[in-house]
Structure 1
């Protein structure tokens, strides 16, 4: 499809004439001006319940942390950002869409989330169809690159088309040439598995089995049997929390921990206890790949902001969604999405002056400079689909010391 992210003047003007379905706090009467002292209100759609609830705390914490730093610097367009409006995606399409409708009714100026790619698939039409910018820090489904979002959907997490390349390289680098794939039977699982198989075969490995499963299933005997019967020397599991049961059954079926490679949906320090409460070390040797950030300063600041936070996965990317949107509003001089959406790619483009904080970048904009916001998750550089073109990945593993990060690696689509 044609480039989605550069809105034409006609489209933007038409959106304003129609008054927008969601015009932001204050009714949007000053749209296109200096903000008129209007508040910029963020909504967030994240898993407060459901099988990805463990990702909820880092999502809301990162968003609140970003807003606190924006407010410490004087707010957006000189006005303090109010408390974020929350909605629960809950791992359920209907409930997620109802939460999205509530955020639209609350006339938020931007929505952070959803966390899960499937929940974004269920809600983006509601949100972007209302001409509200939506930015997810954790959506990775490759299918989201080409959605009909009217140019209003962005993400700071890399597409699975890039994650799968990194995973395939890790498998082959470990010496494996015969690989079995097991994936959730949804857009996330199917897209990741397709890209992973393509890259594995390009690297000379053979995919001897490619199994999918119903995430709502209570047993995975047929899937595990389909893998073990082919006797692969490595197995890649593309799953969320339910994958713990798949791992348990594969270990019982004779697959060793050293043969298992997992994705970000299972990047949980407590995975061993979830798989086998009486023997958490049963997963020792399991290796994983997840989008991440090599930024100790951010990690320390986030920990100080919320000392009780245990899981930080995708927190940097969520922080970058909030901050890049704030900078786009500053660049446009407006809280209205129809005004600032075209600035989102611009504030991250390499042609601008590099800057790393909201305050620094805002001041450069005030001086008339173009900026290149360098996110806490790394370089973003939104492309015409609203995707980041580069990302940092963590290679993690489980061993005698539990969950540990082996390395951080930067990869781009041009590698």
Structure 2
């Protein structure tokens, strides 16, 4: 892959690479065109615990669903994919990196995740430094476009630079001219807030507050008071689960639900209960923007696969990570990440024949055709940084009947 990113390793990671570089594939030598019957094993870093644990079920369910469909079509290079190896990112840098080290030691051929951008920042050196492909379906931090990963990191979720544009346009369309931005103090929150302010000002709005908060704090009086003092028309909250407490404090001030706009970290049908268990309808009026997919067929299939699944956030994007990696291995004729990594952009480029499932796409590859994988989340078309260049967003809302999707909108980085 002609990546613009160069590999930068710490001494500790370099030592790890010396011992583990050759293990990332279960052996790429002598694969030939048929993979030599070697298994392709996926690892996954996802939030089993921590403040994003509500995103755990759709992440692991989507990955397992994709693997089931791959195996139904004959597996990768004719060999069935074994059970996915799981690791808990837990919302903690040290624990996430410990889980990543475990996946590398288990000689997985690819790592799906981490779910949170911060957890990927904590783990990508470990994974990509061992020359193992890492693909996240939910990382959105703009900073991840420029990490030093030697071309081994990809994502199917759009950068916050694009998400922020969509949110700014929504806020402006609804007539808000004076806006407060409140964000968690990390790469995700800071990057999103900066991009949001830039686009709001481009649209003629004034940003009267732009403050961050410690997501581990027990109270958020400082930022809530700053917003209340400025009396803005709208408040944009860039948060994860801790944002429920921030919302509760906003609602106790003079801010109303129809003034609040939230990001994907709060796209939770149970948000009302989390904010105020005694009055779940207190969140009525809140609107949000999240990367999504308008794909009822995929949702029906995933629901049939896991009937207990209630949250679907980023599930299509995770499914696409698993599938596009499998197709890259098919195209390369190898399970070795150092060999198939160059095929990841190629199997999603517009020059190929469009196809939308592993079975269909792998048949085309077997016939010698180039392919353009059309994902469950939409067109991917990786750029040189491993980012998708287009995405679908859902505008979600909390109304009389709770959580609802108002609309789906397609946006491109080229717009």
Asked if 1:308 is matched to 2:334, the reply is no
After superposition, the CA RMSD in angstroms is: 1.6
- 1:11 corresponding residue in structure 2: none
Aligned counterparts, 1:6-405, within 5 A: 21-24=21-24, 26-31=26-31, 33-405=33-405
Change (3 A) 1:388 1:25: closer
Deviation at 1:30, TM superposition (A): 2.4
Report if aligned partners of 1:5, 1:342 keep a CA contact under 8 Å in 2.
no
Report if aligned partners of 2:27, 2:336 keep a CA contact under 8 Å in 1.
no
Deviation at 1:34, TM superposition (A): 2.7
TM-score (normalizing by structure 1): 0.95
Report if aligned partners of 2:5, 2:146 keep a CA contact under 8 Å in 1.
no
Q: Supply the distance in 2 between the matched residues of 1:407 and 1:144 (Cα, whole angstroms).
A: 28
Q: Supply the distance in 2 between the matched residues of 1:32 and 1:43 (Cα, whole angstroms).
A: 24
Aligned length: 405
Q: Supply the distance in 2 between the matched residues of 1:67 and 1:345 (Cα, whole angstroms).
A: 20
Q: What SS does the corresponding residue of 1:407 show, helix, strand or coil?
A: strand
Q: Supply the distance in 2 between the matched residues of 1:308 and 1:215 (Cα, whole angstroms).
A: 30
Structure 1: state its 5+ residue gaps: 8-17
Deviation at 1:32, TM superposition (A): 5.6
Report if aligned partners of 1:127, 1:134 keep a CA contact under 8 Å in 2.
yes
Structure 2: state its 5+ residue gaps: 8-17
Q: Supply the distance in 2 between the matched residues of 1:400 and 1:204 (Cα, whole angstroms).
A: 32
Report if aligned partners of 2:26, 2:107 keep a CA contact under 8 Å in 1.
no
Deviation at 1:27, TM superposition (A): 3.5
Q: Supply the distance in 1 between the matched residues of 2:350 and 2:340 (Cα, whole angstroms).
A: 19
- 1:13 corresponding residue in structure 2: none
Asked if 1:407 is matched to 2:414, the reply is no
Q: What SS does the corresponding residue of 1:310 show, helix, strand or coil?
A: coil
Change (3 A) 1:6 1:354: farther
Change (3 A) 1:32 1:203: farther
Q: Supply the distance in 2 between the matched residues of 1:85 and 1:22 (Cα, whole angstroms).
A: 19
Deviation at 1:28, TM superposition (A): 3.4
Q: Supply the distance in 2 between the matched residues of 1:270 and 1:32 (Cα, whole angstroms).
A: 50
TM-score (normalizing by structure 2): 0.95
Report if aligned partners of 1:24, 1:41 keep a CA contact under 8 Å in 2.
no
Q: What SS does the corresponding residue of 2:394 show, helix, strand or coil?
A: strand
Deviations 1:89-141 (A, max 9, x none): 00000000000000000000000000000000000000000000000000000
Deviation at 1:5, TM superposition (A): 7.3
Deviations 1:156-177 (A, max 9, x none): 0000000000000000000001
Q: What SS does the corresponding residue of 2:130 show, helix, strand or coil?
A: coil
Deviation at 1:211, TM superposition (A): 1.1
Deviation at 1:377, TM superposition (A): 0.3
Following TM superposition, the consecutive aligned residue runs of length 4 or more in structure 1 with deviations greater than 4 angstroms are: none
Deviation at 1:25, TM superposition (A): 5.5
